[in-house]
Amino acid sequence: DAKTTQPNSMESNEEEPVHLPCNHSTISGTDYIHWYRQLPSQGPEYVIHGLTSNVNNRMASLAIAEDRKSSTLILHRATLRDAAVYYCILRGSNAGGTSYGKLTFGQGTILTVHP
Amino acid sequence: GAGVSQSPSNKVTEKGKDVELRCDPISGHTALYWYRQSLGQGLEFLIYFQGNSAPDKSGLPSDRFSAERTGGSVSTLTIQRTQQEDSAVYLCASSFVRLSYFEAFFGQGTRLTVV
């Protein structure tokens, strides 16, 4: 499985934007980039995903480098409820392959938001 | 409810006993995942089902662990002869798997304590 590399931790102040980086230099052409987050004492929840183009939804934005070897999750205005572990994951899309649909989590980035 | 349901929510068992953990996925979801998370650690992939078959069992830690899925729905994770190192939160997730749409929904987990 292609691997991702994220900083262990990041800090932000409330109401400020947060940029969470992820490196995935071995990404294949058919891998989707997914982000999940895990709030304390809860299961992970989906945040956003993309393939090549930048993506926006109500929770966040995903900026994908042109060579797709890195991406950045952007929280436009951090709130205290955004404090969580953020996971960047590559998901294979080669139907019939053993990795199709599989999600493999790394260690993630612990985001601390200060009031 | 319409979410992923796991039972029991908590399980305390004696070392050497067998345990069964149950996951009821969201209706219609073809993919089902099992993960475990030890205290303060990331998510460790265990097994992934597509329908009733498991294309990837690579994460099962030993032959004491097994899982099955019947009717493309409910899944059971069985741990035989439990050991103290099996203590963790066991998380189940389900999703559709389509080329461009993919969001995995997680249950709240089963906290297993082996004493």
Residues of A with CB under 8 A from a CB of B: 32, 34, 36, 38, 42-46, 49, 51, 85, 87, 91, 93, 95, 98-108
pLDDT of residue B100: 56
How many CA atoms within 13 Å lie on the side-chain side of B32?
31
The reported pLDDT for the residue numbered B64 is: 97
In Å, how far is A110's CA from the nearest CA of chain B? 11
Say yes or no: B100 contacts chain A, CB-CB below 8 A: yes
pLDDT digit string (tens) for A1-40? 568 999 999 999 999 999 999 999 988 888 889 999 999 8
Q: Is residue A96 predicted with pLDDT exceeding 60?
A: no
Distance CA A96, CA B9 (A): 34
**β-strand partners of B106:** B93
Residues of chain A found within 8 Å of residue B48, distances taken between Cβ atoms:
101-102
pLDDT in tens, B40-75: 888 898 998 988 888 778 889 999 999 999 988 999
pLDDT at residue B69 in the model: 95
Over chain B, what is the mean pLDDT? 91
- Which tokens sit at B103? 């969001």
Residue B106 has pLDDT above 70, yes or no: yes
Residues listed for chain B = 115
Mean pLDDT of the B77-91 span:
97
Best mutation target, A33, A34, A35, A46, to test chain B (most B CBs within 10 A): A46
Across the range A45-65, mean pLDDT stands at 93
Chain A contact set for B91 (CB, 8 A): 43-44
CA dihedral B98→A39→B111→A34, nearest 10 degrees, is 20
